[in-house]
Structure 1
Amino acid sequence: MPYLIRRLLQMAFVLWAVATIVFLMFRLMPGDPSAAFIDPTFTVEQQQAVRAQFGLDRPLPQQYLIYLGNLLHGEFGLSFRQRQPVLGMVLEVLPNTLLLTLTALLIAYAFGTLLGALMAWKRGGRFEAISVPLVLTTRAAPEFWVGMVMLAIFAFGLGWLPSGGANVAGAQYASEWDRILSLDYLRHLALPALTLAIYLQGLPALLMRSSMLEVMREEFVTMARMKGLPERTIMLRHAARNALLPLVTAFALGFGQSVGGNVVVENVFSWPGLGRLLAEAIANSDYPLAQCAFLLIALVLVLMNFLADLLYGLLDPRVAHGRG
Structure 2
Amino acid sequence: MLNRKYLLQRLALMGISLFIVVTLLFFLFRQIPGGPTAMMAPGALPEDVRQQVIEEHGLNEPLWRQYVLFMTNLVQGDLGYSFYYGQPVSSMIASRVVNTLALMISAILISYTLGIYLGAHLGWIRGTTLERVEMVIVLIARSTPVFFMGLFLLYIFSFQLGWFPVGGMRSVGASADGAFQTFFSIDFFHHLVLPVVSLSLFYTGLPLLLMRNNMLEVITEEYIETAQAKGLSRRRIVFVHAARNAILPVVTAFAVAIGFSIGGQVLIETVFSWPGLGREMVDSATRNDYPMAQGTFLLLATLVITMNFVADILYTYLDPRVSVDGESE
Shorter chain as denominator, the TM-score bin is: over 0.9
Paired with 1:25 and 1:281, the residues of 2 have a C-alpha distance of 15
Q: Residue 14 of structure 2: which of 5, 8, 11 is its match?
A: 11
Q: Residue 300 of structure 1: which of 290, 294, 303 is its match?
A: 303
Q: Residue 86 of structure 1: which of 86, 89, 92 is its match?
A: 89
- Deviation of 1:170 (Å): 3.0
Spell out, residue by residue over 1:34-68, the C-alpha distance to the aligned partner (whole angstroms, 9 max, x if none): 22233544221211111122221111111111111
Paired with 1:75 and 1:118, the residues of 2 have a C-alpha distance of 49
| Amino acid aligned to 1:238 | H
| Amino acid aligned to 1:173 | A
Q: Are residues 56 and 321 of structure 1, via their aligned partners in 2, closer, same or farther at CA, if it must alter by over 3 Å?
A: closer
- Deviation of 1:145 (Å): 0.6
Corresponding position: 1:311 with 2:314: yes
Q: Residue 111 of structure 2: which of 108, 111, 131 is its match?
A: 108
Q: Secondary structure at the match of 1:74?
A: coil
Q: Which blocks of at least 5 consecutive residues in structure 1 are unaligned?
A: none
- Deviation of 1:317 (Å): 2.0
- Deviation of 1:261 (Å): 4.4
Corresponding position: 1:157 with 2:157: no
Q: Secondary structure at the match of 1:260?
A: coil
Corresponding position: 1:172 with 2:175: yes
- Deviation of 1:23 (Å): 0.6
For the Cα contact (< 8 Å) 2:264–2:276, is it kept in 1? no
Q: Which blocks of at least 5 consecutive residues in structure 2 are unaligned?
A: none
Paired with 2:239 and 2:101, the residues of 1 have a C-alpha distance of 31
Spell out, residue by residue over 1:76-109, the C-alpha distance to the aligned partner (whole angstroms, 9 max, x if none): 1111122211111001111111121110011111
- Deviation of 1:245 (Å): 1.3
For the Cα contact (< 8 Å) 2:97–2:262, is it kept in 1? no
Corresponding position: 1:288 with 2:311: no
Paired with 1:20 and 1:37, the residues of 2 have a C-alpha distance of 22
Hey, which bits of structure 1, 4+ residues long, moved more than 3 A? Answer: 320-324
Q: Which position in structure 1 is the counterpart of 2:65?
A: 62
- Deviation of 1:318 (Å): 2.4
- Deviation of 1:273 (Å): 0.6
| Amino acid aligned to 1:112 | G
For the Cα contact (< 8 Å) 1:314–1:320, is it kept in 2? no
Paired with 2:43 and 2:236, the residues of 1 have a C-alpha distance of 74
For the Cα contact (< 8 Å) 1:93–1:273, is it kept in 2? yes
Paired with 2:43 and 2:23, the residues of 1 have a C-alpha distance of 31
Q: Which position in structure 2 is the counterpart of 1:127?
A: 130
| Amino acid aligned to 1:225 | Q
Matches within 5 A, 1:243-282: 243-282=246-285
For the Cα contact (< 8 Å) 2:124–2:238, is it kept in 1? yes
Paired with 2:325 and 2:293, the residues of 1 have a C-alpha distance of 40
Spell out, residue by residue over 1:190-231, the C-alpha distance to the aligned partner (whole angstroms, 9 max, x if none): 111111111111001100100101100111111112223333
- Deviation of 1:174 (Å): 2.5
- Deviation of 1:322 (Å): 5.0
| Amino acid aligned to 1:294 | F
Q: Percent identity?
A: 44
Matches within 5 A, 1:213-228: 213-228=216-231
Q: Which position in structure 2 is the counterpart of 1:238?
A: 241
Paired with 1:237 and 1:138, the residues of 2 have a C-alpha distance of 28
Q: TM-score scaled by structure 1? A: 0.95
| Amino acid aligned to 1:235 | V
Paired with 1:298 and 1:142, the residues of 2 have a C-alpha distance of 24
Q: Residue 27 of structure 2: which of 20, 24, 28 is its match?
A: 24
- The CA RMSD over aligned residues, in Å, is 1.6
Query: Bigger shift: 229-238 or 114-123?
Result: 229-238
Query: Bigger shift: 219-228 or 71-80?
Result: 219-228
- Deviation of 1:302 (Å): 1.7
